[in-house]
């Protein structure tokens, strides 16, 4: 048998997108290890099909811990829904993600991204996205998040880059109502930015928690407005995106996506913290 052609994780061209989705959907999953830091079961796997192979993450529904504010056994579907919305924007901010059967039952399967993390102490590939700085102002090219305890009674200002990739992700998070946008959920690879871990999204209630508040209250870019208008059309009752989301989340949650898109277009601005829900996830990085 010829050796499998391994697809480099995270380096997927637009032309190979269909092949990658077929590989993730139909390929044989082999568990290689477990990511212990995750709160739910996250398995590092290889997936192979028709002479091709890639690394991937498999999150079985059976390994999800119950949450008080999300229905049990729905996190995998929400991860796939986040990918579908990301693809509809044209920004490609979420790695290829499918819902499929696996060694531990149905779960989410997502292409593994061999990117650098964005920890303020170790950001590398694609430019630094998060940093801790002294003083009360973020400095040119940065947006303030808030003050962080750095030990020994000292604080430093946590900032994120004034980066168009992050700004797009901030818009996506507002649409999908991401309740957990931490620094560790940002990966950069060959200049591209990816967001991962979208299990706590699409709640019908406002639960936006993110590090990306730097543009709060600022006007949306013309690009973002165009994308939101396209999403509005794609969320019409009989449109493909709306029908696909209806397979993954509840009708009330789909309606809430429509309402959030409409609200963003009506205001023309990035959202601001609502005050009824912690605005920044913990730990932030």
| Strand order through the sheet with 130-133 | 130-133, 154-161, 142-151
Residue 141 within any structural domain of the chain: no
- pLDDT of 123 reads 37
Give the domain extent around 9: 5-115+162-267
CA distance 196 to 187: 8
Residue 84 within any structural domain of the chain: yes
Computed from CA positions of residues 268, 191, 196, 24, in that sequence, does the dihedral angle turn out positive or negative?
positive
**Dihedrals phi, psi of 75, to nearest 5 degrees:** -70, -40
pLDDT in tens, 47-93: 999 889 999 999 999 999 999 989 999 999 999 999 999 999 999 99
Residue 182 within any structural domain of the chain: yes
Residue 279 within any structural domain of the chain: no
Look at residue 13 and tell me whether its pLDDT is greater than 70.
no
Cis peptide before 275 (omega within 30 of 0): no
pLDDT in tens, 192-204: 999 999 999 999 9
Q: Domain count of the chain?
A: 1
Residue 64 within any structural domain of the chain: yes
- pLDDT of 17 reads 63
Residue 157 within any structural domain of the chain: no
The H-assigned helical ranges of the chain are 17-26, 75-89, 164-176, 222-234, 240-246, 251-267
Residue 276 within any structural domain of the chain: no
Residue 154 within any structural domain of the chain: no
């Amino acid at each position: 048998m010829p050796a499998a052609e391994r697809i480099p994780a995270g380096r997927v061209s637009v032309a190979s997108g269909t092949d990658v989705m077929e590989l993730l959907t139909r390929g044989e999953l082999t568990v290689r290890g477990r990511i212990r830091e995750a709160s739910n079961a996250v398995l590092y796997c290889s997936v192979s099909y028709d002479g091709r192979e890639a690394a991937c993450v498999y999150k079985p529904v059976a390994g999800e811990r119950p949450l008080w504010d999300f229905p049990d056994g729905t996190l995998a579907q929400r991860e796939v829904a986040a990918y579908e919305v990301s693809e509809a924007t044209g920004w490609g901010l979420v790695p290829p993600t499918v819902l499929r059967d696996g060694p531990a039952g149905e779960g989410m399967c997502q292409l593994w991204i061999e990117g650098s993390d964005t920890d303020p102490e170790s950001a590398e590939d694609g430019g630094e996205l998060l940093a801790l700085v002294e003083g009360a102002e973020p400095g040119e090219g940065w947006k303030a998040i808030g003050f962080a305890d750095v030990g020994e009674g000292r604080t430093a200002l946590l900032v994120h880059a004034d980066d168009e990739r992050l700004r797009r992700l901030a818009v996506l998070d507002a649409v999908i109502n991401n309740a957990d946008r931490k620094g560790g959920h940002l990966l950069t690879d060959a200049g591209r930015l990816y967001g991962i871990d979208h299990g706590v999204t699409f709640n019908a209630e406002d639960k936006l928690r993110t590090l990306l508040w730097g543009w709060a209250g600022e006007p949306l870019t013309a690009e973002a407005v165009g994308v939101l208008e396209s999403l509005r059309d794609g969320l019409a009752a009989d449109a493909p995106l709306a029908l696909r989301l209806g397979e993954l989340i509840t009708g009330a949650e789909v309606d809430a996506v429509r309402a959030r898109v409409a609200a963003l277009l009506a205001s023309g601005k990035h959202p601001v913290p609502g005050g009824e829900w912690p605005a920044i996830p913990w730990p932030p990085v």
